[in-house]
Structure 1
Amino acid sequence: MKIRRLANEERPSTSWRLQEYAFERSPMPPEQAAKLREYLPYHEGNVTLVVQDGAETLAAVSMIPMRQNVRGTVHTMAGVSGVVSHPLARRQGHIRTLLTQLLGELRDEGYAVSALYPFRPSFYGRFGYAALPHPRTVSFSPADLGGWLRADLPGELRWQRIRDGYDTHRGFTERLLASRHGFSLLPDYRDVQRREDDKRWIVSARHDGEVVGAVTYTIDGHGGTLHADDLLTVSPLGRALLLQFFARHVDQVARISTVVAPDETPELWSTDLATHTESRLSFPSSVAPMARLLSLDALHGLSTAPGRVRVDIVDDPFVAGSYLLDGADGRLEVTRGSGSGSAATSASPPTATLTAAGISALAYGVLDPDELPLRGFGTVPREAAAELRALFPRAVPYLFSDF
């Protein structure tokens, strides 16, 4: 058996055969399988490792080179996907071997963080990934938005097919990447597939010449549902303009359904708006994302409150070690080993022992330090918890891209 990195043109006959079996209707109709090569341009920059026994591919793991905002800083992000194994080669350790090698190679190439959608969260928790909140889906009747039809709102709407409005949507998501914690973006070569497929409408809200909201969507038929993707806005006005657009469909569709960020509150969008909001998880088909740090360099320079603590990270091949985290100057300084940091004092800082999942959960803002021991993510004395809480206040990450 050998592990090797695939060339792009090899995918249809190797890793994609396993992905078809794992994630698609199987067996795939011959005419659909014959068209797979048409999708190769959308995977040209992906990294795929496979385990092979002779000519037989036993397992594969892929990575999409992405970018993600972590507490205001945009990092290179390894979006792990296409984790598959041959049905006769499962539970033999191939995925563990491939994932460990892939993450190690990517860490060495400068990738600071990684995210994925797990088939089983507990499996990836052993690889240092921490769970992130799942975006929610909200549905409502457009008739309940009647008040917005009477509102005199500044700004304007632009309605286009996605092939014509793609640049607007891509530019707006780039803006959100720079400002929204947890937000991630696919590379251009992958994201452009939406423009080429041209299977969606896009409506964008503008004010003073600037895009303040955008959403892509489809309609499944007269009297049916308008299915909107992520409702993206940077202001209440942007959201109001999009809701007003939805309201204009009152005589066309019975329901509006849209995806919203985990910290959104649809019940407050309008008076007399009856909403159904849910975040439904099931395994392995509908799962919340997970993320982890591949290097503590991802924390260096973050804007933070004063705090000083030492963390000993254990049981991880990528970030294990002792680190001093010092936020005395309003920017987090990370020093590995016995360094004293920029605000050295004679007193030793409190020390916490964390797993990779524990430090990742703090970095992404999804757990309080007091929760970490309860979840088996480390040992955090009270004094260390106070310092970690100052350095990593709770935050709600919004992992936008579905990869």
Structure 2
Amino acid sequence: MEHGRRFGAFEDEELAAQVMTYPLAVSLFGERYEMGGIAYVATYPEHRRGGLIRQLMTKSISAMRENGQIISYLHPFDVTFYRKFGYELAFKETRMELRLKQFMQKSTGVGKIKRISHSNADFELAKQIYASYAERHNGMLIRDDAWWARLARRGYVNEIALYLDENGEAQGYLSFAFKGVQMIVHELVGLTSVAETELWAFISSHDSMFEKVTIKNAGEVDELALSLANPTALRVTQELTFMVRIVDVKRFLERYPFPELEEPLYFKIKDETAPFNEGVYKVAKGIEKVSEAPRQEVVEANIGAFSQMLLGFARPELLRAQGKIKISKETAARLEAIIPHEIPRFYDNF
């Protein structure tokens, strides 16, 4: 909150509503993108339905653009409410539960596990592992020291199992806690398959102490199932969590990893909350705003569906079938080949 930007709406010099933006950064396509994290959106009940939040959200998005934050995340209390401001779902949280008696992973005997906490000097190694992992996966928060301190205050990094390979190099970690007869894994991050195996073996070694383990932030379920000895013992629940919107369309397109295009692409964007984004964008060797586009080539989308699509959360063909975007089958096929297929990940909360 010390670093956030807060806008308030006042009536008779008394605060009636507010919106805060955290100055954060995320990893997208292997690069750092400045991100505005929307939080503390609130209105006193007696001031609701007066349009104050709309004014504050509009102001916040404009300020993000001026501040160089070209993308924004938020955790919605109501998805429909934030869709009005151009946000759309783009992340999911996966929680898994395993009965340890049903699941046993043997150690490879390579490397070793070291128990540490956030107060240990080796905690810096866990930070470095996370940073390398975040670079490889779209959507992940780039955590600075202040954010790690926030996680420590909230008890997420009190107990850590750090994996060191045969050369003594840190290649993975898991942060965990115990509650009753279960082990709770807050985060499992491995840079190699051996690191992941050894961390799972560490979890398995607690089978005489705890009946089950609950896990989140451990990658995609499909990837996980391939590495587990008995995936049928896995119980999975998923929840759609964070929403996203592109704040500055032109700057986002300028940084997007488009391949060399034989024919231009045209995007016609609708954005009521940020009118500066509206218009037709031609993507060729560069990005330019144009007055019109060939009808058969243009991709028409509101800012929410456009953001979902370019981050890879919702595929072009699915959005076309659902009527979320207007696009020809031929252009949809072109976009399917261009847009990364990795589903974005986000392991943090605010």
In structure 2, what is the equivalent of residue 398 of structure 1? Answer: 345
Task: Kindly indicate whether the alpha-carbon contact (under 8 Å) linking 1:65 and 1:186 is maintained by their aligned counterparts in 2.
Answer: no
Shift of 1:163: 2.3
Q: Distance in 2 between matches of 1:87 and 1:301?
A: 41
- Correspondence 1:215-230 to 2 at 5 A: 215-221=174-180, 224-230=181-187
**2:173 counterpart of 1:214:** yes
TM-score by length of 1: 0.77
Q: Distance in 2 between matches of 1:177 and 1:162?
A: 19
In structure 1, what is the equivalent of residue 289 of structure 2? Answer: 336
Task: Pick the aligned partner of 1:64 from 9, 22, 30.
Answer: 22
Deviations 1:159-179 (A, max 9, x none): 112222542332222222222
In structure 1, what is the equivalent of residue 305 of structure 2? Answer: 358
Structure 1 alignment gaps of length 5 or more: 1-42, 282-286, 328-332, 341-346
**2:125 counterpart of 1:168:** yes
Deviations 1:201-231 (A, max 9, x none): 111112233322212111013xx11111122
Q: Distance in 2 between matches of 1:57 and 1:48?
A: 12
Task: Pick the aligned partner of 1:300 from 254, 260, 269.
Answer: 254
In structure 1, what is the equivalent of residue 229 of structure 2? Answer: 271
Q: 1:81 to 1:206 in 2, by over 3 A?
A: same
Shift of 1:260: 3.3
Q: Distance in 2 between matches of 1:377 and 1:65?
A: 30
Q: Distance in 1 between matches of 2:38 and 2:126?
A: 24
In structure 2, what is the equivalent of residue 24 of structure 1? Answer: none
Deviations 1:18-65 (A, max 9, x none): xxxxxxxxxxxxxxxxxxxxxxxxx21111111122343211111111
**What is the identity, as a one-letter code, of the residue corresponding to 2:332?**
A
Deviations 1:350-373 (A, max 9, x none): 112211112211211122223334
Task: Kindly indicate whether the alpha-carbon contact (under 8 Å) linking 1:75 and 1:298 is maintained by their aligned counterparts in 2.
Answer: no
Q: Distance in 2 between matches of 1:339 and 1:125?
A: 27
**RMSD between aligned residues:** 2.5
Q: Distance in 1 between matches of 2:218 and 2:49?
A: 35
**2:93 counterpart of 1:135:** yes
Structure 2 alignment gaps of length 5 or more: none
Q: Secondary structure at the match of 2:177?
A: strand
**2:34 counterpart of 1:87:** no
Shift of 1:349: 7.9
**What is the identity, as a one-letter code, of the residue corresponding to 1:170?**
K
Q: 1:91 to 1:339 in 2, by over 3 A?
A: closer
Q: Distance in 2 between matches of 1:47 and 1:239?
A: 39
**What is the identity, as a one-letter code, of the residue corresponding to 1:315?**
D
**What is the identity, as a one-letter code, of the residue corresponding to 2:89?**
A
Task: Pick the aligned partner of 2:141 from 177, 180, 184.
Answer: 184
* Identical-residue share of aligned pairs (%): 19
Q: Distance in 1 between matches of 2:280 and 2:153?
A: 48
Task: Kindly indicate whether the alpha-carbon contact (under 8 Å) linking 2:126 and 2:172 is maintained by their aligned counterparts in 1.
Answer: no
Q: Secondary structure at the match of 1:50?
A: strand
- Correspondence 1:40-55 to 2 at 5 A: 43-55=1-13
Task: Kindly indicate whether the alpha-carbon contact (under 8 Å) linking 1:205 and 1:212 is maintained by their aligned counterparts in 2.
Answer: yes
> What number of residue pairs does the alignment pair up?
340
Q: 1:48 to 1:111 in 2, by over 3 A?
A: same
Q: 1:115 to 1:56 in 2, by over 3 A?
A: same
Shift of 1:320: 1.4
Q: Secondary structure at the match of 1:195?
A: helix
Q: 1:176 to 1:354 in 2, by over 3 A?
A: same
Q: 1:239 to 1:126 in 2, by over 3 A?
A: same
Q: Distance in 2 between matches of 1:348 and 1:306?
A: 22
Q: Distance in 2 between matches of 1:393 and 1:178?
A: 15
Q: Secondary structure at the match of 1:105?
A: helix
Task: Kindly indicate whether the alpha-carbon contact (under 8 Å) linking 2:26 and 2:33 is maintained by their aligned counterparts in 1.
Answer: yes
Deviations 1:382-402 (A, max 9, x none): 233233223324330001221
**What is the identity, as a one-letter code, of the residue corresponding to 2:18?**
A
**2:107 counterpart of 1:154:** no
In structure 1, what is the equivalent of residue 198 of structure 2? Answer: 241
Task: Kindly indicate whether the alpha-carbon contact (under 8 Å) linking 1:162 and 1:198 is maintained by their aligned counterparts in 2.
Answer: no
Task: Pick the aligned partner of 1:289 from 233, 238, 242.
Answer: 242
Q: Distance in 1 between matches of 2:104 and 2:220?
A: 25
**What is the identity, as a one-letter code, of the residue corresponding to 2:283?**
L
Task: Kindly indicate whether the alpha-carbon contact (under 8 Å) linking 2:75 and 2:243 is maintained by their aligned counterparts in 1.
Answer: yes
TM-score by length of 2: 0.88
- Highest RCO, 1 vs 2 (Cα 8 Å, sep ≥ 6): 2
